[in-house]
Structure 1
């Protein structure tokens, strides 16, 4: 399985923006949400946008503009994010820190896309699965349990103790690892 071409191109742009932030002495943004699910599922789950966390939104948006991203305007363009015209994928800062700061930051991965020297950060697969289960438990996104199961199946080396703890935290104790593990 491989990434869809536009997603792979977007990962490279994210890595370039990330490196530009580091060059300015600022922290790299962290990829979360649906794009993180697409990353960990090798495009088994697909998304139309990249959700990012950074405490330096204005500076990241400057870097995105420098890479050709534009702010959509006009009828039907009610987005808070940025779109790259060649990719039809949006980038949006959704928070200053991933998951309200409840994650173990040592678990954030630093990734180098194929054909790129630049790096980007992505939330851990365990925290992503916990996020999917939290959304499922809220009742607002019932399909997220399927994503959680797929991600776990693709990552059998996940830290089960940490994952169980995080699922319980994100679901207010309603679910644990047993809800998605065969």
Structure 2
């Protein structure tokens, strides 16, 4: 696993204030990449603020899952189809690293009710190979 969480935040300053308030520190040594944060209690895991539009504007925001963690707070996660497509695209970029393919396969096997047409399209858009999932 990559051991980091990618976050898309619309307001850089607000995101930085929230991370500091939660006890996170700037990753000054860039262990986890540019724009990274880590929590001293769990330094092996990073949080990276990624830039750009959500999956370069190709993913459907309407497919996101809103996970309520408290009455007034939620985390919005990409659809599992978008996560699978991202991992397969990363697998093609990181040739020889099987971890991305393993992550995509695990997500695919654990998921129910996938929209296979959307998944196939997204894998192709991310530069991945649908044949890894036996999708034609």
Q: TM-score, normalised on structure 2?
A: 0.81
Q: How many residues align?
A: 129
- 1:175 is aligned to 129
TM-aligned CA distance change 1:47 to 1:134, over 3 Å: closer
CA–CA separation in structure 2 for the residues paired with 1:87 and 1:65: 15
Is 2:68 the partner of 1:112? yes
1:13-49 alpha-carbon deviations (Å, 9 max, x no partner): xxxxxxxxxxxxxxxxxxxxxxxxxxxxxxxxx5532
Instruction: Give the Cα–Cα distance (whole angstroms) in 2 for the partners of residues 149 and 166 of structure 1.
Output: 15
Alignment gaps of 5+ in structure 2: none
Determine the C-alpha separation between the residues in 2 that align with 1:55 and 1:72.
20
Question: How much does 1:142 deviate?
Answer: 4.0
1:82 to 33, 37, 51: 37
Q: Deviations over 1:132-173 (max 9, x none)?
A: 1111222444431221111000003211111011111111xx
RMSD: 2.1
**Aligned runs of 1:66-145 on 2, under 5 Å?**
66-73=21-28, 77-79=29-31, 80=34, 81-88=36-43, 89-113=45-69, 116-117=70-71, 118-140=73-95, 141-145=97-101
* Corresponding position of 1:164: 120
User: Equivalent residue of 2:17, what SS?
Assistant: helix
8 Å CA contact retained: 1:134, 1:170: yes
Which TM-score applies when normalising by structure 1? 0.63
Bigger drift between 131-140 and 61-70 goes to: 131-140
Do the aligned partners of residues 147 and 72 (structure 1) sit closer, same or farther apart at CA in structure 2, a change above 3 Å counting?
A: closer
* Larger strand percent: 2
Give the secondary-structure state (helix, strand or coil) at the position aligned to 2:88: helix
Q: Is the 8 A contact 1:71 1:82 kept in 2?
A: yes
